[in-house]
Amino acid sequence: MILAAVAATALFGALVYVVLVVAQVSEPVAATVYGLTPRRLWATAAAAVALVGVVIGGLALARSASRVGTISGRRGAIVALAAGLIAVITGGLNVAMANGGPGTGNGVVGGAAAIVLGLIALALGGLAQARQSRTVLSLGK
């Protein structure tokens, strides 16, 4: 369990770094800004929405695997898809508008985290939706 958590954290860190390199903002600046700025707040909110989408998507995927509670699995999949899409768009906008790297107060790390978590939420929601459709078809509804 601990090894899986360490591996997941390392993978998450690597994906955030890849997003920052692709956006060409991976280098920190000399003047680091401390505290909460409006863009950091925006990025944090986007990452929080993405994290909620991941949790709901995971729960929807677990519920759709069982034949009990299929309605909540369908709603959870839709919520996860919507939260993931919102997070990817807002995180992408935040990273695209940033004019500096980590430490500038532009929220690029939070924006990159929102993109990665949003993509994970989209994947979980899509898997739950596909499993839900397959369950409904097998039940003959």
- Residue type for position 123: A
Average confidence (pLDDT) over 108-129: 88
Angle between the 38-65 and 70-97 helix axes, to the nearest 10 degrees?
A: 150
pLDDT at 30: 57
More confident residue, 60 or 103: 60
pLDDT tier, 90 (very low <50, low <70, confident <90, very high otherwise): very high
Are the beta carbons of 110 and 55 closer than 8 angstroms? no
Compute the average pLDDT of residues 41-70: 80
Distance CA(44)–CA(49), nearest Å, equals 9
| pTM score, whole prediction | 0.71
The CA distance from 80 to 58, in Å, is 9
Residue 20 CB partners (closer than 8 Å, separation 6+): 26, 95, 101, 102, 108, 109, 112
